[in-house]
């Protein structure tokens, strides 16, 4: 069984490659840049806008895992091209190739599409997936963290300085990237209870984590007691403009991200849990954050 994968060179995609090696599952992976040879991976050169590359990617595969997506951009219009048009192009290629199984990595932000252009683009992509006629499953991860992640790294770096600025009070679920990767592979076979389903996997912590609690866990992971000020939405919008001035297109805090950061409930719903006989998380929050901090140290990031 060969599985086609998009986004294999990104944060989640690299963890998926590692998980496939552990599970001895061969992958065929799309890439826009030349890659080193890797056991168990067949690289296909191209992107989601390259129909010839998509045809090569899906030819003869039993299933697809669509991880690729744009999560941050200074121009919200780019979400439509990357997340919506890219998904639609892949669905078209999959249907023509007769590849029936399609696992789509969406986002918890798709629950509240009015809050951000990113969430809205993921919600529209989900609509295309559910109307595709394929054997589909949608996965909406909450906040994903782990080795190689540059977004959550901002919080670890702040914690080293003794302060973790937070949005207004709320709660969020977490999932370690290795758990998410193993979850995606576990869902590939499909079947009853998985087909035409939308799942919200997490680390098993019912009710998620309060923002203060999460910040304190990150502080403990880097060996610091941290101050956790909650910043109101207007101040976060000003901070987003400042980040754009300082880092340009590389800014991590954008106005679009402020839109969903300030929502109080990003907790994975138990009603949308993955069937436990198929997958269970292995990595608890405090443990995973501590090992992630160690990875950052070993990699010279902290």
CA distances from 121 to 77, 91, 188, 224, 260 (A): 9, 16, 24, 38, 13
* pLDDT tens, residue by residue, 9-39: 999 999 999 999 999 999 999 999 999 999 9
For residues 241 and 253, the answer to whether their CB atoms sit within 8 Å is: no
Residue 216's pLDDT is what?
Answer: 97
Residue 186, token pair as written in the block: 């576990």
* pLDDT tens, residue by residue, 204-234: 999 999 999 999 999 999 999 999 999 999 9
Looking up tokens 């609509």, which residue turns up? 127
Q: Where are the alpha helices (DSSP H) in the chain?
A: 11-23, 51-58, 78-79, 86-97, 117-130, 153-160, 177-187, 211-221, 233-247, 255-261, 285-298
What's the pTM value of the predicted model, to 2 decimals? 0.95
pLDDT at 255 over 90: no
Domains of the chain (ranges; CATH) run: 3-144+175-202+269-283 (3.40.50.720)
Closest C-alpha among 83, 56, 67 to residue 2: 56
231-239 contacts at long range (C-beta below 8 A, 24 or more positions apart): 231/165, 231/166, 231/167, 231/168, 232/168, 233/167, 233/168, 233/258, 233/262, 236/167, 236/261, 236/262, 239/165
User: Under DSSP, is residue 174 helix (H, G, I), strand (E, B) or coil?
Assistant: strand
Q: Can you tell me the distance from the alpha carbon of 29 to that of 268, in angstroms, rounded to the nearest whole number?
A: 29
């Amino acid at each position: 069984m060969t599985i086609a994968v998009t986004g294999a060179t990104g944060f989640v995609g690299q963890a998926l490659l590692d998980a496939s090696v552990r599970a001895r599952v061969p992958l065929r992976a799309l890439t826009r840049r030349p890659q080193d040879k890797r056991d168990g991976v067949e690289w296909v050169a191209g992107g989601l806008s390259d129909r010839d590359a998509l045809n090569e990617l899906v030819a003869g595969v039993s299933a697809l895992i669509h991880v690729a997506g744009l999560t941050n951009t200074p121009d919200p219009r780019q979400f439509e091209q990357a997340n919506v048009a890219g998904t639609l192009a892949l669905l078209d290629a999959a249907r023509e190739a007769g590849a029936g199984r399609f696992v789509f990595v969406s986002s918890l932000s798709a629950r509240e599409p009015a809050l951000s252009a990113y969430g809205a683009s993921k919600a529209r992509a989900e609509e295309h997936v559910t109307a595709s006629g394929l054997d589909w499953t949608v996965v909406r991860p909450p906040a994903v963290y782990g080795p190689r992640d540059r977004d959550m790294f901002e919080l670890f770096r702040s914690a080293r300085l003794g302060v973790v600025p937070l949005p207004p009070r709320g709660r969020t679920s977490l999932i370690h990237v290795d758990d998410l990767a193993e979850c995606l592979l576990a869902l590939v076979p499909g079947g009853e209870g998985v087909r035409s389903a939308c799942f919200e996997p997490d680390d098993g912590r019912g009710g998620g984590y309060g923002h203060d609690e999460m910040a304190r866990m990150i502080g403990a992971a880097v060996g610091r007691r941290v101050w956790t000020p909650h910043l109101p939405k207007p101040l976060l919008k000003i901070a987003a403009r400042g980040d754009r001035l300082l880092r340009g297109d590389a800014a991590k805090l954008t106005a679009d991200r402020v839109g969903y950061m300030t929502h109080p409930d990003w907790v994975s719903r138990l009603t949308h849990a993955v069937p436990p006989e198929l997958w269970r998380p292995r990595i608890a929050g405090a443990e995973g954050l501590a090992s992630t901090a160690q990875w950052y140290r070993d990699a010279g990031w902290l």
